[in-house]
Amino acid sequence: MPNQLESLRQYTTVVADTGDFDVMREHRPTDATTNPSLILKAVRKERYRPLLDKVVKDHAGAHLTELADHLLVAFGQEILRIIPGRVSTEVDARLSFDTTKTIERARGIIGLYEAAGIERERVLIKIASTWEGIQAARVLQAEGVSCNLTLLFCLPQAVACADANVKLISPFVGRIYDWYKKSAADKWDEQANTGVNDPGVQSVTAIYNYFKARSIKTEVMGASFRNVGQIIALAGCDLLTISPELLQTLSASEAPITRQLSPESAQKNATETLPCDEISFRYLLNDSAMATEKLAEGIRVFVADAVQLDQLLEQAKAG
Annotate the chain with DSSP letters as a single string: ---HHHHHTTTSEEEEESS-HHHHHHH--SEEE--HHHHHHHHTSGGGHHHHHHHHHHTTT--HHHHHHHHHHHHHHHHHTT-SS-EEEEPPGGGTT-HHHHHHHHHHHHHHHHHTT--GGGEEEEEE-SHHHHHHHHHHHHTT--EEEEEE-SHHHHHHHHHTT-SEEEEBSHHHHHHHHHHHGGG--TGGGSGGG-HHHHHHHHHHHHHHHTT---EEEEB--SSHHHHHTTTTSSEEEE-HHHHHHHHT----------HHHHHTT--PPPP-SHHHHHHHHHH-HHHHHHHHHHHHHHHHHHHHHHHHHHHHHH-
Look up 101 and say whether it is catalytic.
no
Of 54, 101, 126, 182, which residue is the catalytic one?
A: 126
Question: Could you give the residue numbers annotated as active site?
Answer: 126
